[in-house]
Amino acid sequence: MRCANGVTGLFLAGLVAGSLSTIPARAAPPAAPSTAAGSADLKSDGPTQPAKVQDGQYTDKNGDPTYHITDDGKKVDWYTMSGYLRYNANCIVCHGPDGMGSTYAPSLVDALKGMDYAHFAGIIVGGKKDVNAAQELVMPAFGDNRNVMCYMPDIYTYLRARSDGALGRNRPPEHEPKPAAFEKAEDACMK
């Protein structure tokens, strides 16, 4: 996807699931300086702080996608906003409003408290099945669904902000502009 270290995790997860053959890979952007203005611009509301920003996408010290929320939670980065939109288009049916869970599927807000991007990507690509004496929970594989795969880092970023308590339950009121790199990668992935 767009995140260099996330590409590795996604690629490995896709190999395990055997389901990336129909989704064209989105090339990671070339290496660039983290930010021209300095680390003050990376300060974010919430406990997770971005370590780098490249082409409008923020990453943490491990290279996982993360949020950039400012103005006391009123303004989010483009990827968090995109994740909000994609979550509500693809995930809300099972996981409920704002990732809080439902009687049908667990809370993703709780699940992401200890989950890195590679683990998240592996579940999205390959699915998951939890069976016990009381119930059978099945997360279908979305490895062939471009509406999920092309925006997986965005969905993770949104849910991470929700999980950290940095973003409330409503639609973010403001967002950073859509980066040109996002639009180019989106067009390439959706072909």
φ, ψ for residue 175, nearest 5 deg: -145, 160
Given a cut of 50, whether residue 151 has pLDDT beyond it is: yes
pLDDT tens digits, one per residue of 11-62: 444 444 444 444 444 444 434 444 444 455 789 999 999 999 999 999 999 9
What six digits make up the tokens of 39? 């680390």
With contact defined as beta carbons under 8 Å apart, do 161 and 80 qualify? yes
Percent of the chain with pLDDT over 90: 65
pLDDT at 39: 52
pTM greater than the 0.85 cutoff:
no
pLDDT in tens, 64-91: 999 999 999 899 999 999 999 999 999 9
CA distance 62 to 88: 27
167-185 pLDDT, tens per residue?
A: 999 999 999 999 999 999 9
**Residue 32 C-beta-side C-alpha neighbours within 13 Å:** 14
Measured CA to CA, the distance from residue 57 to residue 104 in angstroms comes to: 32
Where is pLDDT greater, at 93 or 38? 93
Helices (H), the chain: 4-17, 78-90, 92-95, 108-111, 117-126, 146-149, 152-163, 180-189
**Range 137-164 average pLDDT:** 95
Asked whether residue 135 carries a pLDDT value surpassing 60, the answer given is yes
